[in-house]
Structure 1
Amino acid sequence: MAKVLYERDGRIGRITLNRPEVMNAIDDDLPRELMQAVQEADADRRVHVMVLSGAGRAFCAGYDLAHYAQDPDNVITQDMPWDPMQDYQFMWANTQAFMSLFRAMKPVICKVHGFAVAGGSDIALCSDLVVMGEGAEIGYMPVRVWGCPTTAMWVHRLGPERAKRIMFTGDRIGGAEAAEMGLVLKAVPDDRLDAETEALADRIATVPINQLAMQKMVINSAIEAQVQQTQRLATVFDGITRHSPEGLNFKARAETVGWKQAVRERDEGTFDWSRNRPFDTANAPD
């Protein structure tokens, strides 16, 4: 079964992440299939705009940690000493697959329901326009341990101080707050998400393709060089986070207790990853 679906609907190219059983979590295949769908829509002269969405309960819940964190045989965390360029090659390919949304000549609208978290936020924020349901949440929780957002789109959308507020905490924020911060275009009531996204896509679809391409190229050119420079650093750092002492402890913990518990301990701040043990609640950590 295809992990990313594509179909043309008049002047709209519809791209759907299609792993609903795991909230469209990212595995080895999904980034490549996403890029292929974007390329197909971009090459079709009948398509004026793309709409990206997720099947099931959420847009995308990030990387599939049941495989990448819990499975001792996965390739994303190497035995020590590790080869940073092997790690970089793997993650850079995924980052560039996500960036196919940004680099496509045609506009891409991302419709976010449920969650767009961790690597799922990377995908959403590479789109040109993001419309969120007010009940949806977006965030990059792995900044607490075991991750750095390789697309670096948070800072390019928010500016340094607001990006730091998210990157220093790993907090998830709701659609209304994301829109207020300027991270996404707008947030609408969940029951209006489809209608609002369709209205925006229909409006854009009435503009000639060449006009849309020129406007997108001009606007993207203002940040393209900066984006690529930041992404290269972020992709290297992402590998380092997973092979740092804390990152290795997180993976070992996930293998021992399961990734759901390890993620819960990470996000709640109840585990001291540097010492590989729960925080002593009776005494403040030193």
Structure 2
Amino acid sequence: MASIEEILAVERIDNDIYRGGSFPSQLRRTFGGQVAGQALVAATRTVDREFAVHSLHGYFLRPGRPDEPAVFMVDRIRDGRSFVTRRVTGVQDGEAIFSMSASFHVTHDEGIEHQDRMPEVPDPESLPGRESADDSQRALLEEWANFDIRIVGQAETSRYPGLAAQQRVWFKYRLPLPDDHLLHVCTLAYMSDMTLLGSSMTVHPGAKAQTASLDHAMWFLRPFRADDWLLYDQTSPSAGGGRALTQGRIFDRSGRMVAAVTQEGLTRSVATDSAASIMRQDR
């Protein structure tokens, strides 16, 4: 697998136009996190370092082809004293496959502060890794071999009362990353598409579904490192009509809430298919 630095190293080909690399994949469609991460890198290349990204909102418009690069065109929507806004369109063969708005905020503002408490979960070291995953999980985990992903078992998940579907996942990038906050932010944008839609399937054991990310929103709340353990606390408050809504809160190991994510995805029923084939259709 390519390193995350290689995946996120978009190439400038003209003013506000960038090209992302293509990388071998067993997925039939380009992984949504890759498209979102590359688009965010393109946006950051047009913003002064005094501004840090605090939110993104993206739509997956068409399935990308993993064997072809995507071109990202950045529109400079607004440059204010406290906030900067960029719009990015990802294109393959002249067609838009992804659209994203990203907002950046100066790093020195101050205000009130509070956060939810991180749920109690087993330590990541006590959970089985990729080598102990079942067949339905192994195909997808192999796609992300440079990431350590450990799913908390449903029996070990403390339940929030009244919530329809819940899942918790520890994850991190396996290799040390440079001390570049933007790289960690864009890496987490890539990671945030991992496993989240799967939270909608936890209360439907044995169900077969064609799944794909439809839209994705993310807020970056506090500094963090993507090469340290992060807890992804996931819920799916609703599913119906072939779509599922999912939400996630991301905490660092000390309990600081560092990001929040909301995603809607396709969860269309299929009559028969192998788990591995469904995984390859996931994006």
Q: TM-score, normalised by structure 2?
A: 0.28
Greater share of residues in strand: 2
Larger radius of gyration: 1
Greater share of residues in helix: 1
